[in-house]
């Protein structure tokens, strides 16, 4: 069977998802408390970032002079707001299980509110570049989670959250990049943003895994760097080498996010996601 080209020109709209967390176990990756927490870091790390995206792109909206891009940014904002809300719900569940994520989330919020808070006009565009770089990483992760068969044994509601989020990241992967280039197409600026974003996020992720495995009394031991290799081998976290290769594509001159990732895979998942099809 031949295929069509990947669907393009998508109208982006937030989906009214609902998740039922009533029976989510603390370690939703069966037999893998450390692996659970490595992925749990996403719930701690993403909401503050996504609220930052929403605020920044809301500021950008009145200045966008392309009606199609405007509509896409409008949809992007709604999708990111829903992502943040969904991850926040998981934090509530973690609290109920006796893990307080606050010390870590306070720091993440501080990074986005203060370190990346208001600034000059030049910094406004720089922040768009930072978001575009983060969105490159989230779309790479989204593509990974849609195809990570090793996660199929995870708790279904959590798996649906991760894949729904991943699918929307793939679906809207061009928006932040196109918004950045709408204001500034400097290669230097976008390259520089990734030089900052990729190491800092990797470091924050590792730090979060250490924090959570220490904060969870039911977790037998703290995470260790070796765990990353072990979990990547098992396929339940992204392979760092492959991740690095995909991140490196960002630095190709002439790169555009449409060259990577599969909208078709995202569309396929979203048509089956329990949360998105209530």
Partner 1 sequence: MTAVPRDLRGRDRPDRAMATLAAVGGAYRSLARRPGRAPTPVDRTLHLRVAERVVVADGVVALRLAAPDGRPLPVWQPGCHLDVGLPSGRRRQYALTGDPADRRGYRVAVRAVPGGSGSAEMHALAVGDAVAVRGPRNAFPFVVRPRMLFVAGGIGITPIAPMVRAAARLGVDWRLVYTGRTRASMPFLDVLRSPRVAVRPDDEFGTPTDLLATALAGAAVYACGPPPMLDALRADLPASRATALHVERFSPPPVVGGRPFRLVLARSGVTLDVPADRTVLDVVREVRPDVSYSCRQGFCGTCRIGDTLICTDRAAGDRLVLDL
Residue 219 to residue 33: CA distance in whole angstroms: 6
Query: Given the complex with partner 1, which of 23 and 121 has the nearer CB atom?
Result: 121
**Which of residues 63, 221, 242, 249 is near partner 1 by CB under 8 A?**
63
* Shortest Å, Cβ 115 to partner 1: 4
Residue 168 to residue 220: CA distance in whole angstroms: 34
Q: Is 83 a residue that touches Fe ion (CB under 5 A)?
A: yes
* Shortest Å, Cβ 75 to partner 1: 7
Q: Is 122 a residue that touches partner 1 (CB under 8 A)?
A: yes
Side-chain-facing half-sphere of 89: CA atoms under 13 Å: 15
Q: Is 163 a residue that touches Fe ion (CB under 5 A)?
A: no
Residue 53 to residue 203: CA distance in whole angstroms: 20
Q: At what angle do helices 102-110 and 33-60 cross, to 10 degrees?
A: 30
Site of tokens 């329990």: 274
Q: Is 114 a residue that touches partner 1 (CB under 8 A)?
A: yes
Q: Is 119 a residue that touches partner 1 (CB under 8 A)?
A: yes
**From the list Fe ion, partner 1, none, which binds 83 (C-beta under 5 to 8 Å, kind-based)?**
Fe ion
Contacts 24+ apart (CB under 8 A), 114-117: 116/52
Tokens found for residue 91: 């934090």
- The count of chain residues that interact with partner 1, using the rule CB under 8 A, is 69
Q: Is 74 a residue that touches partner 1 (CB under 8 A)?
A: yes
- Contact string 35-54 vs partner 1 (x = CB under 8 A): -------------------x
- Reported residue count of the chain is 278
For binding to Fe ion (CB under 5 A), which residues are involved? 80, 83, 135, 138, 169
């Amino acid at each position: 069977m031949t295929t069509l080209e990947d669907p393009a020109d998508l109208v982006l709209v937030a989906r009214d998802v609902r998740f039922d967390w009533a029976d989510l176990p603390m370690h939703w990756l069966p037999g893998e408390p450390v692996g659970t927490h490595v992925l749990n870091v996403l719930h701690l790390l993403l909401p503050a970032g996504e609220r930052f995206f929403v605020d920044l792109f809301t500021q950008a909206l009145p200045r966008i002079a392309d009606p199609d891009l405007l509509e896409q940014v409008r949809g992007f904002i709604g999708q990111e707001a829903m992502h943040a809300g969904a991850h926040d719900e998981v934090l509530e569940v973690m609290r109920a299980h006796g893990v307080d994520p606050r010390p870590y989330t306070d720091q993440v919020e501080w990074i986005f509110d203060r370190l990346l808070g208001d600034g000059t006009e030049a910094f406004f565009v720089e922040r768009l570049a930072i978001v575009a770089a983060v969105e490159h990483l989230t779309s790479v992760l989204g593509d990974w989670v849609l195809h990570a068969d090793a996660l199929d044994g995870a708790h279904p509601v959590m798996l649906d959250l991760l894949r729904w989020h991943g699918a929307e990241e793939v679906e809207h992967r061009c928006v932040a990049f196109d918004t950045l280039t709408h204001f500034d197409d400097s290669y230097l600026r976008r390259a520089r943003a990734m030089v900052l974003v990729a190491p800092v996020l990797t470091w924050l992720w590792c730090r979060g895994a250490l924090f959570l495995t220490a904060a969870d009394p039911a977790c037998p031991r703290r995470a260790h760097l070796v765990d990353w290799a072990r979990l990547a081998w098992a396929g339940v976290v992204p392979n760092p080498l492959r991740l690095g290769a995909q991140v490196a594509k960002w630095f190709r001159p002439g790169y555009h996010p449409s060259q990577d990732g599969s909208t078709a895979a995202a569309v396929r998942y979203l048509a089956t996601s329990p949360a998105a099809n209530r």
